Structure 1
Amino acid sequence: MSNNQVIIYISNNNSIQSNKVINLMNEHNIPFITKNVSDNTEHMKELQAKEIYGTPATYIDDQKVILGYQKNKIKHALGLDDNTSHYSSLFEGFDK
């Protein structure tokens, strides 16, 4: 289990990209906090204060944001896959 603090900003509950990020966290038993910017304007203001205007936006230990569903980059930041850099297989996790 990871000791990372993960915050995922989402814009609605039906976003395919947001659901993929959430499913990845669940798959690896990573605890996370979801902040829905559509339902809560305070969450939207938090994200905009960071100059981010798109979702999903994933923060891991308050590091630089990972936008969208970038499976390898997220796994690398969480330390889940030491053998894969976040640059490898750029299309991994991206469905047409």
Structure 2
Amino acid sequence: MDAKTILGLNLRRLRVERGYSQERLALDAGIDRAYVGRIERGSENVTITRLEALATVLQVPIAALFEEPADHGRRPLALRPGRKPKAR
């Protein structure tokens, strides 16, 4: 598996685990939402500056984005669609 694919799988997994939409992650990292989607699909060559911004938002070390997936590259599930219910 190449580095861009590993990065994309890990980014999506971490984003979903933390409950971020692509839009929210992009906004918090100061990048475009479409760019996040391209990273997750493995079609973008990401700079270290962008990796640092994403890792900071996700609260992980940059190295965590390059760890070989334990599930052999299976795509993580997506977030449930729609808005989160308001807290009462």
Scaled by the length of structure 1, the TM-score of the pair is: 0.32
Higher relative contact order (CA 8 A, sep 6+): 2
Scaled by the length of structure 2, the TM-score of the pair is: 0.34
Choose between structure 1 and 2: higher strand proportion.
Answer: 1
Choose between structure 1 and 2: higher helix proportion.
Answer: 2
